[in-house]
């Protein structure tokens, strides 16, 4: 895995770099947003670790430039010491794929990175990678989602969450199921990450449309029905 690490705190940057290199990954460091943006736009990386509070250009601005102006599709994991829902949602709105609140354990960081970079798709019987429910269509080949013929832009994590729900259509999936299959971790993240992503996904695929797609089954989980 080739990683771009944009983090100005020397101790944190060194900790992450050392841990990833011990796992056999290649790490390129940047200590401010301007240099990080330049590297991310000129070189190919498997994933970008991006701190929110960095000099030159903050992480939100860097992410916005990469995702919305330059069209960079590399998954972005944002690091934040703030930990509030507003800060998290701001990052997700402008295209970040996941977030991690400081302080964190290296095991959790590695699990998040592996989940972001792992791309699997199960083909259906006719060889096409199309998932449907009502007027919503997901194309797993082109990574596009449309509802009522309108394109819906999702981050990589939102796409994977919706993909998992669609592949388990008409079945209730628990929060544990989602953690294991979307975040690909077998331990409790200890955050409201699922709630944040589920709410934001609902906003994108349901707001302005006539019917709801995702239903909450209180005390059990979530379901998408035909």
Q: Confirm whether 125 is domain-assigned.
A: no
Instruction: Establish if 61 belongs to a structural domain.
Output: yes
For residues 175 and 76, membership in a common domain is answered with no
Percent share of the chain, pLDDT over 70? 91
The confidence score (pLDDT) of residue 85 equals 64
Reply yes or no on whether the pLDDT at 164 is more than 50.
yes
The length of the chain, given as a count of residues: 226
Distance CA 135, CA 175 (A): 26
CB atoms within 10 A of CB 194: 18
pLDDT of residue 39 exceeding 70, the answer is yes
* Predicted pLDDT of residue 119: 43
Q: What is the CATH number of the domain that holds 217?
A: 1.10.10.10
Instruction: Judge if 61 and 135 occupy the same domain.
Output: no
pLDDT at 83 over 70: no
In a domain, 161, yes or no: yes
Average pLDDT, the chain: 86
Question: Into how many domains does the chain fold?
Answer: 2
Burial level of 184, CB count in 10 A (0-12/13-18/19+)?
Answer: middle
pLDDT at position 176 over 70? yes
Tell me what the mean pLDDT of segment 203-209 comes to: 92
Asked if residue 137 and residue 39 are part of one domain, the reply reads: no
Residues 109 and 135 in one domain: no
Point out the domain boundary residue: 70, 92, 117.
117
CATH number at residue 27: 3.40.50.2300
pLDDT at 49: 97
In a domain, 181, yes or no: yes
pLDDT score at 1: 80
Residue 61 has pLDDT above 70, yes or no: yes
Residue 122: inside a domain, yes or no? no
Q: Is residue 42 part of a domain?
A: yes
In a domain, 74, yes or no: yes
Cα(185)–Cα(89) distance, rounded to whole angstroms? Answer: 22
Q: Residue 15: is its pLDDT beyond 90?
A: yes
- Lowest-confidence range among 83-92, 112-121, 204-213? 112-121
Question: Given pLDDT bands bounded at 50, 70 and 90, which one contains residue 186?
Answer: low
Q: Which of 26-35, 69-78, 182-191 has the least mean pLDDT?
A: 182-191
Q: Are the CB atoms for 75 and 117 separated by under 8 Å?
A: yes
CB within 8 A of 80, min separation 6: which ones?
51, 52, 53, 59, 87, 88, 91, 99, 100, 101, 102
Domain that includes residue 155, residue range? 130-224
> Can you tell me the mean pLDDT for 112-141?
69
User: 171 and 75, same structural domain?
Assistant: no
């Amino acid at each position: 895995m080739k990683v771009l690490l944009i983090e100005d705190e020397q101790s944190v940057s060194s900790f992450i770099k050392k841990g990833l290199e011990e796992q056999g990954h290649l790490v390129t460091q940047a200590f401010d947003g301007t240099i990080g943006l330049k590297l991310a736009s000129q070189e190919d990386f498997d994933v970008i670790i991006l701190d929110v509070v960095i000099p030159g250009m903050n992480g939100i601005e860097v992410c916005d430039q990469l995702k919305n102006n330059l069209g960079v599709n590399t998954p972005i994991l944002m690091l934040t010491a703030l930990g509030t829902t507003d800060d998290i949602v701001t990052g997700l709105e402008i295209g970040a794929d996941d977030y991690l609140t400081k302080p964190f354990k290296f095991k959790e960081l590695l699990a998040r990175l592996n989940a972001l970079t792992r791309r699997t798709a199960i083909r259906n019987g006719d060889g096409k990678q199309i998932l449907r429910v009502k007027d919503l269509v997901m194309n797993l080949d082109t990574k596009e989602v449309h509802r009522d013929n309108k394109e819906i832009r999702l981050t990589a994590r939102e796409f994977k969450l919706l993909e998992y729900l669609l592949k388990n259509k008409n079945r209730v999936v628990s929060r544990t199921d989602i953690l294991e299959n979307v975040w690909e971790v077998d331990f409790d993240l200890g955050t409201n990450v699922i709630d944040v992503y589920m709410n934001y996904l609902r906003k994108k695929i349901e707001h302005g449309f006539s019917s709801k797609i995702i239903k909450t089954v209180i005390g059990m989980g979530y379901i998408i029905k035909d």
